[in-house]
A and B are shown apart, each in its own frame.
Chain A
Amino acid sequence: MPDRLLEVSGLGKTYGDVVRTVALQDVTFDLQRGEFVSVIGQSGSGKSTLLNLIGLLDTPTAGRIALAGEDVTAASRGRRGALRNELIGFVFQFHHLLPEFSVLDNVLMPGRIAGLRASLLLPRAEEALGLLGLEELRDKSANDLSGGQKQRVAIARALMNRPALILADEPTGNLDSENTKAVYELFRRFNRELGTAFVIVTHDRSVAQQTDRILEVQDGRLLQDVANGYLGAADGSAAGTASASSAATISPVSGMSLMP
């Protein structure tokens, strides 16, 4: 398995044919498996566009993207969908849960789309719910949850297919500071214990400080790509393209047992 999970080179996105709006241009970076990265930038800087492109939700107008060694720049809609399902978990600012379904059904959904066999589906979903402390909410409607609960369900859903990469777009944008802290602790824990790579889009520098590497986007360009010496990175996979600058401490969560 190559260590390089994502390769982005010369990536650009321009909207409109007549009035052209350049949302992103000439962005180049690699992402290793198990990296914990944040993308920061002002509102409208292009960070969400970058996330949508590397999440294969959108297609670039320039440059190239390779995911897990496969060039996906011009992949078909079907192929991009299959790769999203298999390799990528999403956590959006607005949760994007399915309101018609229960908490459990929402978490199960990526597994059911993947066609996971029944014997694997429920234990995995229950494990994800357990990791996020959602056991008691499993049969509740997704509509009946608080914002923090919804975001935890969205995270459990993102974990369901054991993706190599979780993309989170302002995942704590609607949460209070307590829930925000809890969410980043969970991210860090899954990063450490499952080896899941994270790319977290945020406009909050204090949040970014807790990641191993910061990509700063400004006016659609990658302004800087710096390593952030996070102390708790268990597997030492934190990329070091720049000097370590800060540290944060998150208490490790005990009693976690992960299924194969």
Chain B
Amino acid sequence: MLSLSIATRFLRKSPVQSILIAAGIAVGIGVQVFLGSLIISLQSSLVQQTIGHSPQVVVAAASDGRPVAYTAALRRVLTAQPQITTVVPQRSFSAIYRSGGVSAPLQVVGGDLARLDTIYDLSGRLSAGSARLGPGAILIGKDLAARYGLAPGSRFPLVLPDGTTTDLTVAGVFDFGSTAANAGTAFVGSSLAASVLRYGPDQYSSIGAQLHSVFASKTVAASLAAAPALHGLKVSEWQAQNADLLSALKSQSASSYMIQFFVLVAVALGIASTLAISAVQKTRQVGILKAMGMRDGETGRIFLWQALLLGLAGAAAGVAVGLGLIGVFTLVGRHNAALFPIHPQVSFTLLSFLVGVLVAAASSLISARRTSRLDPIEVIQNA
């Protein structure tokens, strides 16, 4: 293709100009890739911290305090949902730790350790003791343990909802990474909770589920609510209960899109102005080519090709710059616990690359149009 080979020659013969434009695109796309990956990772980190270790969809009785019968039909409906990764029936109640004049309110969750682990990862987040939920055993949080000087093996008197006190033993201490959870939550075995709540073998206070994609919770909840097996039950999901977090995430996305948009505008203006200058510089050459019979469209394509080539090279370098920045951030993050991990976003990076190339191509339109319209006589006469 003649216009492509002329475009390549023009670029090669102005190496500094070409490198500067490509570098401009590279910086723009590099910022895009880094910023996009940063925001996406930040959001997923926030979401993970907030709801990663809790049920994202919860099925409970329509009226508070009533048990849910975890029937085979209900189990089938839940496991048939492709989005649901794990289902954890649990028995929860409020209780008070009271010892020697001090007391602390607790939300106690009862369930099978293996099941509970699929959501709460108790075994993996134990900081002391062992993960056991046998009769008389309780797992408590790090902050509660520290506040009252409790350790594995300590006596743990618990005042139950009916006012009676039962003596339990601390089996292990977990760390959920959140003071509220570490101070206010405790776990006991399923049968202990059943006897506290006076529930039968199939009765639970709620059935929690986790999903592949946390943002699918609305659809999953709606679909569950419509199932006949859940008639009379209440389905809730995390998004409805975390409106503040969601609106924060949305504002963050919006500001990120704004920044990315203006970065792209700056890149486009940079390319457009440099190409316009280049088109003026090459007016004579274009006039000569047209005098020799090159068609208007073909001469216009010279500048389109130049922009495309610069866009390809610049966007590719930009992806490298972006990934490099992510690497540096990750390296720094390793020594700084306050930073969250950034994961390169493959599809976002590809999109940024494509957008970079398209923006570059679009920026050439002014030059291409100008070139197409040039009459060779203007050049020949003014030689």
Contact in complex: A110, B296 (CB < 8 Å) = no
A150 part of interface (Cβ distance < 8 Å): no
Contact in complex: B383, A82 (CB < 8 Å) = no
Contact in complex: B295, A109 (CB < 8 Å) = no
Contact in complex: A57, B380 (CB < 8 Å) = yes
Contact in complex: A90, B383 (CB < 8 Å) = no
A58 part of interface (Cβ distance < 8 Å): yes
**Which B residues are in CB contact (< 8 Å) with A114?**
293
Contact in complex: B289, A90 (CB < 8 Å) = no
B292 part of interface (Cβ distance < 8 Å): yes
What is the CA–CA distance of A92 and B287 in the complex, to the nearest angstrom? 13
* 18 A/B residue pairs, CB under 8 Å, sorted by A: A52-B380, A52-B381, A57-B376, A57-B380, A77-B296, A84-B291, A85-B292, A85-B294, A86-B293, A90-B292, A92-B383, A93-B383, A94-B383, A98-B288, A101-B9, A109-B289, A113-B293, A113-B294
One digit per residue, 1 when the CB lies within 8 angstroms of any chain B CB and 0 when it does not, for chain A 151-169 equals: 0000001000000000000
Q: Which of B2, B9, B294, B376 has the most CB of A within 10 A?
A: B376
A12 to chain B, nearest CB (A): 16
A178 part of interface (Cβ distance < 8 Å): no
Summarize B's interface: helix, strand, loop or mixed.
helix
A78 part of interface (Cβ distance < 8 Å): yes
What is the CA–CA distance of A86 and B10 in the complex, to the nearest angstrom? 25
Q: Which residues of A contact B (CB under 8 A)?
A: 48, 52, 57-58, 77-78, 81-86, 90, 92-94, 96-101, 105, 109-110, 112-114, 157
| Shortest Cβ-Cβ A-B pairs, 7 listed | A85-B293, A100-B13, A81-B293, A94-B383, A84-B293, A96-B288, A58-B377
B301 part of interface (Cβ distance < 8 Å): no
| Other contacts beyond A84-B293, A98-B288, A157-B292: 9, CB < 8 A | A77-B375, A84-B291, A86-B293, A90-B291, A98-B285, A100-B9, A100-B285, A109-B292, A110-B292
One digit per residue, 1 when the CB lies within 8 angstroms of any chain A CB and 0 when it does not, for chain B 1-21 equals: 010000001100100000000
B213 to chain A, nearest CB (A): 54
B142 part of interface (Cβ distance < 8 Å): no
Contact in complex: B377, A82 (CB < 8 Å) = no
What is the CA–CA distance of A78 and B381 in the complex, to the nearest angstrom? 20
**Which B residues are in CB contact (< 8 Å) with A81?**
290, 293-296
**Which A residues are in CB contact (< 8 Å) with B289?**
98, 109, 113
What is the CA–CA distance of A98 and B295 in the complex, to the nearest angstrom? 17
**Which A residues are in CB contact (< 8 Å) with B298?**
113
A57-B291, A84-B292 known; A100+B377 contact, CB < 8 A: no
What is the CA–CA distance of A224 and B251 in the complex, to the nearest angstrom? 82
What is the CA–CA distance of A28 and B293 in the complex, to the nearest angstrom? 26
In the complex, the chain B residue whose C-beta lies closest to that of A80 is B293
What is the CA–CA distance of A131 and B356 in the complex, to the nearest angstrom? 49
A94-B383, A100-B285 known; A78+B295 contact, CB < 8 A: yes
**Which A residues are in CB contact (< 8 Å) with B380?**
52, 57, 92, 96
Contact in complex: B10, A96 (CB < 8 Å) = no
**Which A residues are in CB contact (< 8 Å) with B291?**
57, 84, 90, 96
